[in-house]
Every structure is written in structure tokens, then in C-alpha cells.
């Protein structure tokens, strides 16, 4: 079975964008690959954050992932900083990749713009740490959206450079391009994100979600109830595409175009469809929250397993580099 690696920042509870953009897919893929999911706290510290919240956010994310269907047996879910090999391998890779390659990364340029007061080395080195994340486990498959392709190409480049300088050590991983819809925020203007304050959380109550939907913009051309609308110009319909069965969606399209359905009713139908997905996730979460101790133990034993895998890779890399092949943790 090929190895799959992916990472997610410890943002605490997940939202619809995280679920439909990534996690739902991982739940499927975990059956086909030896799967590692890392809660990438070392990546998270490249921007300003509150250290007091970090452990809470990590645990809450783990609970959310398990509630979404990540399988405790099938997937190795672990916290990145508990496996020192990630940082060790990053340093080794830093010595084979020219700075110019990192400076041209689109994500670095974007993040440097967004974090003008904190353009630190970690931001520049972020994709090298990603390469180390993947190659530490010699993963062949990395599920990504279009915006991450450049980083996967860089990972392949790092593997090639290391291999040509020191001998064949790392595989050239493949990006597993997934159908990851770009889920827009409730503002209809930006990608869904907690930082933009436009997210619908997976664990939010029916009432809270309804108050967000009730105030959400629809097709701007549909001013009165009697006006016909165009679902393709409506953010509410973009959510229907994620959660409402096709047959019902056809009815909504027809109703919207003929003014047969009002926006309030359309939003109520969306709320019902949303809870067909969120209901079971919330139910699982409420059980998992009572098993926090067990979840912490699973994360610790998974980190232990990862340290063993990492040890082999680090020793092999050190040996090839002429360094003493020891690695104690
Ligand atoms: Fe959007 Fe539904 Fe209103 Fe049509 S009826 S504009 S799809 S909310």
C-alpha cells in the first residue's frame, strides 16, 4: 500500500470549507493508502498566535477530525512537533535548495504581504518543512488542491537534488489532485476562513447557523420575492451543491428561475440538508469529548510510531551525508 501524507494547521474546530475542501476526501482516501495526518503546529507558529491556546486547539482539531470520520485504526494522526525528525530533515533540505527557489513561491509572497510585521525565516522555509513532512515518511501520495501544486513540485525538486548529491534516498512524491471545491464564506466574497469571520463551523448549533444563513446575500438581481433568480449567481446555492441531493437541487433551480421558491424557503431547505451532514458529526463529537484522555493517548502513541519511522529516515539521510548515523530521542 502506498503511503499518503497530509497536514492540517491546528485551528481548533473545523468549518464547512475545511470539511468539503479536504477532510471529507481524507476520510475516503484512508481506506486506500497507509495514511499519515499531521497536525502541523510547527507550521502554525510561523504567524503570530496565542501560545496559551495552542494545546486546546490541537486537541479540539483531533476531536473534530475523528468526529468527521478519520479512523483511529486506519490513520496515524499525530502532532508534528512531537516528532523531532521534521525539523532535523528540514535543516538537511535547507542545504540543498537555493534561496531563490523559495523566494519565488506564490504562497510565501502572499503570506509576506499579509504578515508585513512578521516576515520571518519560518515563512520562507515553510515549503521546505512541508517537504520534510512528506519525505520523512517517504510518502508517495499527497492530496492537495491546485494552490499547493507549487509546493509539491518543490518537494520533488528537493528529493531530486538530495538524491543526485548524496545518492538515491527519497521518492518523488505525486500530488493527488482532488476535487476540492473552493467553499466561499457566508459573506460570498472570500474563501471560507475563520480569520475572515465568514465561516460556518461544523459544530455550530442550528440556531447559530440559521442566523448566519438568514442574513446571507443571495442573487443580487433577485430584489423582490416575485423576481426570478439565477442559482449560479447565488452563494446559498453553492452550499446546496455541497449538501443537497441532486433531485432536490433541480427543483430549487427551477423554483428559483421561475420565482416559485422564495429565498427564505430555499435557505430553510439548505439548513435541513446541512444538518443531514452536520448532525452525525456533532453526535460523534459529543461522544468523543467524553473520551479526551483516550484521544490524547492515541496521539501520543501515534507520535511514538512516527518517531520510529522518522528515525530510520534520518539515520539513512545522515549516513548518506557523511554525518554520524545516530539519532536519539
Ligand atoms: Fe439563491 Fe435560493 Fe434565493 Fe435562488 S431561491 S436566489 S438559489 S437563495
The CATH number for 291's domain is: 3.40.50.620
pLDDT band at residue 180 under the 50/70/90 scheme:
low
pLDDT band at residue 80 under the 50/70/90 scheme:
very high
**3-class SS of residue 29:** helix
Per-residue confidence (pLDDT) for residue 20, from 0 to 100: 94
CA–CA dist 198, 187 (Å, integer):
6
Q: Give the catalytic positions in this structure.
A: 111, 191, 194
Residue 187 lies in a domain: no
Number of domains into which the chain is organized = 2
Whole-number Å distance, alpha carbon 232 to ligand 1 midpoint, is 9
Report the nearest atom of ligand 1 relative to the CA of 261. Answer: 5
307 vs 1: which has the higher pLDDT: 307
Looking at the fold, whether 178 and 210 belong to one and the same domain comes out as no
Domain interval for residue 83: 3-182+287-321
Looking at the fold, whether 293 and 276 belong to one and the same domain comes out as no
DSSP per-residue string spanning 82-104: G-THHHHHHHHHHTTS-HHHHHT
Q: Which residues line ligand 1 (CB under 6 A)?
A: 218-219, 222, 229, 231, 234, 236-237, 256, 261, 263, 266-267
Looking at the fold, whether 116 and 65 belong to one and the same domain comes out as yes
Residue 160 lies in a domain: yes
Q: Taking 70 as the threshold, does the pLDDT of residue 144 lie above it?
A: yes
Average pLDDT of span 287-295: 97
CA–CA dist 9, 81 (Å, integer):
12
Cβ-contact 23, 7 below 8 angstroms:
no
Task: Tell me which residue of 8, 2, 288 sits closest to 137, measured CA to CA.
Answer: 2
Report the nearest atom of ligand 1 relative to the CA of 219. Answer: 6
Task: Tell me which residue of 51, 42, 57 sits closest to 11, measured CA to CA.
Answer: 57
Strand partners, 15: 201
Amino acid at each position: 500500500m502506498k503511503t499518503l501524507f497530509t497536514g492540517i494547521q491546528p485551528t481548533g474546530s473545523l468549518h464547512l470549507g475545511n470539511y468539503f475542501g479536504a477532510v471529507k476526501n481524507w476520510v475516503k482516501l484512508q481506506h486506500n493508502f497507509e495514511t499519515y495526518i499531521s497536525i502541523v503546529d510547527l507550521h502554525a507558529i510561523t504567524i503570530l498566535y496565542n501560545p496559551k491556546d495552542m494545546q486546546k486547539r490541537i486537541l479540539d482539531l483531533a476531536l473534530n477530525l475523528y468526529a468527521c470520520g478519520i479512523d483511529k485504526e486506519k490513520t496515524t494522526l499525530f502532532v508534528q512537533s512531537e516528532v523531532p525528525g521534521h525539523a532535523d530533515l528540514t535543516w538537511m533540505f535547507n542545504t540543498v535548495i537555493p534561496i531563490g527557489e523559495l523566494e519565488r513561491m506564490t504562497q510565501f509572497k502572499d503570506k509576506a504581504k499579509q504578515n508585513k510585521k512578521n516576515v520571518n525565516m519560518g515563512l520562507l522555509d515553510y515549503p521546505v518543512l512541508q517537504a520534510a513532512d512528506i519525505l520523512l515518511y517517504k510518502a508517495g501520495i499527497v492530496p492537495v488542491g491546485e494552490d499547493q501544486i507549487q509546493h509539491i513540485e518543490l518537494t520533488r525538486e528537493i528529493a531530486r537534488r538530495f538524491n543526485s548529491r548524496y545518492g538515491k534516498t527519497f521518492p518523488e512524491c505525486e500530488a493527488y489532485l482532488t476535487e476540492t471545491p473552493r467553499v466561499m464564506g457566508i459573506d460570498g466574497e472570500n474563501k471560507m476562513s475563520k480569520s475572515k469571520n465568514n465561516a460556518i463551523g461544523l459544530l455550530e448549533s442550528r440556531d447559530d447557523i440559521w442566523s448566519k444563513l438568514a442574513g446571507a446575500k443571495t442573487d443580487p438581481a433577485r430584489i423582490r420575492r416575485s423576481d426570478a433568480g439565477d442559482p449560479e449567481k447565488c452563494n446559498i446555492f453553492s452550499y446546496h451543491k455541497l449538501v443537497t441531493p441532486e433531485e432536490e437541487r433541480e427543483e430549487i433551480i427551477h423554483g428559483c428561475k421561475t420565482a416559485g421558491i422564495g429565498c427564505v424557503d430555499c435557505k430553510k431547505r439548505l439548513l435541513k440538508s446541512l444538518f443531514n451532514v452536520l448532525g452525525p458529526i456533532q453526535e460523534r463529537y459529543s461522544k468523543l469529548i467524553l473520551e479526551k484522555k483516550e484521544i490524547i493517548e492515541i496521539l501520543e502513541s501515534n507520535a511514538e510510531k512516527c518517531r520510529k519511522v522518522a528515525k530510520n529516515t534520518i539515520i539513512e539521510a545522515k549516513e548518506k551525508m557523511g554525518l554520524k548515523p545516530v539519532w536519539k530521542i
